[in-house]
Structure 1
Amino acid sequence: MNKTIKSELVLVKKELLEIKNRNEVNPENILKEVLERSVKSNNVIIFDLVESNNDDIRERIKQDVDLVKELLAAADIAPEQVSKVLRLGKKGKVPKNRPTKVVFTNSAAASKALLLRSNIIETCKSKISLQSDQTEMQRNHYRTVCSQLE
């Protein structure tokens, strides 16, 4: 009985903290979120894009850029619209494809890539997925909604 009361108390405290955090409206946080979303609107994240095992970092970057530009050609996106291509996270000892962040020169190009993602996915020989670059708040909100649906 005592354990159940303690566990319920912990759950109630956790829910109270979540509600408090949700209802906390700070103008500075809102502005920061809007700015961050604006910056991230130029980005697309590609998951499971094959990563080179080359030891030379310059060669790996070149291969990533070439592969991304080849994929984006399927969506009729000019190579000049790609500002930067980079891998997220550290390269581990175990070969694993890290997510690839593609930074476009404008949000219209990023939107076009997401809109025509099926064309891009069909072009790739391996199974990839494309997603918009999201802020931490967006990711947390998505997780919350998914957990509520379960």
Structure 2
Amino acid sequence: MKAVIQRVKNSSVEVDGEKISVIDKGIMALIGICIDDTEEDIDKLVKKIINLKLFQDEQERFWKKSVKDLDYDILCVSQFTLYAVTKKGTKPDFHLAMKTEDANKFYNKFLDKLRQAYKPEKIKDGKFGAMMNVFLVNEGPVTIIIDTKV
């Protein structure tokens, strides 16, 4: 699995002109699922997302607090394009991304485990497979790329 994690002041997802998810301070995570991902990858990514120290502490020291420590929100958006292969030519190839039906089940399992590991009401998501508009105010900016295979 891959994730692009962004520390945000706020973020939202819109589908067909309607806001379907909104968070305040926290993390916006683009989630990519590979054809050979397993439940072990889910567990690694869940642990990393909720415990990654991206925030300041009370003394304003950087990299001291996690989203979990501060009771912040998490917005996840499925993003198969994280597995684009661009070695040949100019057209991206997505053969490494898990197929839609399997990826949908896998993504929902990821969200379930994330909600179990943190607070269900703090976890928001987009709409799997939909064309979405994702809005965010990246704080810092802080953007971290996670690959469970590396």
Using the size of structure 1 for normalisation, the TM-score is: 0.29
Larger radius of gyration: 1
Larger helix fraction of residues: 1
Using the size of structure 2 for normalisation, the TM-score is: 0.29
Larger strand fraction of residues: 2
| Higher RCO (CA 8 Å, separation ≥ 6 residues) | 2
